[in-house]
Structures are given as structure tokens and as C-alpha cells.
Amino acid sequence: MNALTFTLKKTLQHSLNCAALTPSNLASKSIAEIASTALQFGKTQLRVDEVFDITGSDTQNIHFKNATNRLDYLGANMASGSIHIEGNVGAYLGFALKQGEIYCHGNAEAFSACNMTGGLLKINGNTGDFLGGASAGLRKGMRGGVVIIKGNAGDRVGDQMRRGLILIEGGAGDYCGSRMIAGTIG
């Protein structure tokens, strides 16, 4: 089977919530059902096929092409499979990632690996603030898994981090490990 591939076909003016496009959410759906899935876009919703060209059928191996920093929540609550991203992504990459692997061949915005509990997140570029941190209102950030950043990370890496491993090959911004409870940052 070929990887299920979403190729961005239009310029986005607002952030698009892509949380529904994970291997576990799409596992039992047909291509027609995937195409008709509604994604939150500002105050409205868009169908997947309005935003992406869809090819392939392997829902456990998802690829995003022509990605931009307007694509938020890629890999959110993911519990299986893999996601490969060609291009930059928006905020909350790998939000609450449980299992599986996410590979981003570009840069990511703030809150990557936020609330992550397992799996692997690898970013071959830079990432924004609060890598591995806690989302608003929670007292624990990253609680497991592995994060590898090939570039630089923003401020407050590992804010309120509880478990897990973050490796950064470049530099980190201010307050790295702020309010960190446990885990490893290298």
C-alpha cells in the first residue's frame, strides 16, 4: 500500500486544525470518508478535500506535502503509526502524542510535544517556545517519549516537564527547564 498523502493545494489565511488527520482517527475510514472530514478553520470548517489533494491508502503511514505554518495540531493525540511532514508546521505539533512517530522536515511553531506521553517526535529544523511544555491550565508538561530537534528551540523548553527525553542539537532559548520536575534535556 502507498502512504496516505495529503498535499496542500491552497494558501491558508488562518490556522487549520489538523488534529483529525492521525493514523488512529483515520484507520477505519474510506478515502471518501476522509475527504469529507471537517477541519476547523478559524470560525468556519473546511472539508479535507477542499484543502488537500489526497492520494494513497495506508492510514498507518501518513505524509503531508507542501506543509505551511498554518497547519496546527498535526499528530495531536496520536496513538499509532507514523506521520512524515515536508515543510514547516504550525503550533502544537505532536500535542499529547501517545505512541507512534512524527518526522518533520522543516520548522515548527510553539508548543511542539506539548503534553506528550510517549512516541518519537523528530524535527529537522527549529521549533518555537514551550517545547515539551504544558498546555494552559495543566500542571505537568511532557510525561514521556523522545523529542529530537536538529536545529534550535525557543524559550522555556521542558516547562513543567515530568518525564521523557529532549535532545536539541542547536541552541535553546531562555529559561530552558523552567519549573521542570523530572526527565532529561540535552
State whether residue 62 is helix, strand or coil: strand
pLDDT in tens, the chain (186 residues): 799 999 999 999 999 999 999 999 999 899 999 999 999 998 999 999 999 999 999 999 999 999 999 999 999 999 999 999 999 999 999 999 999 999 999 999 999 999 999 999 999 999 999 999 998 888 889 999 999 999 999 999 999 999 999 999 999 999 998 899 999 999
Long-range contacts of 37-45 (CB under 8 A, 24+ apart): 40/16, 41/12, 41/14, 41/15, 41/16, 41/17, 42/13, 42/14, 42/15
Helical ranges in the chain per DSSP H: 23-26, 31-35, 48-51
Global confidence as pTM: 0.95
Nearest to 80 by CA among 4, 25, 18, 41: 25
* Pairing mode of beta strands 82-87, 101-105: parallel
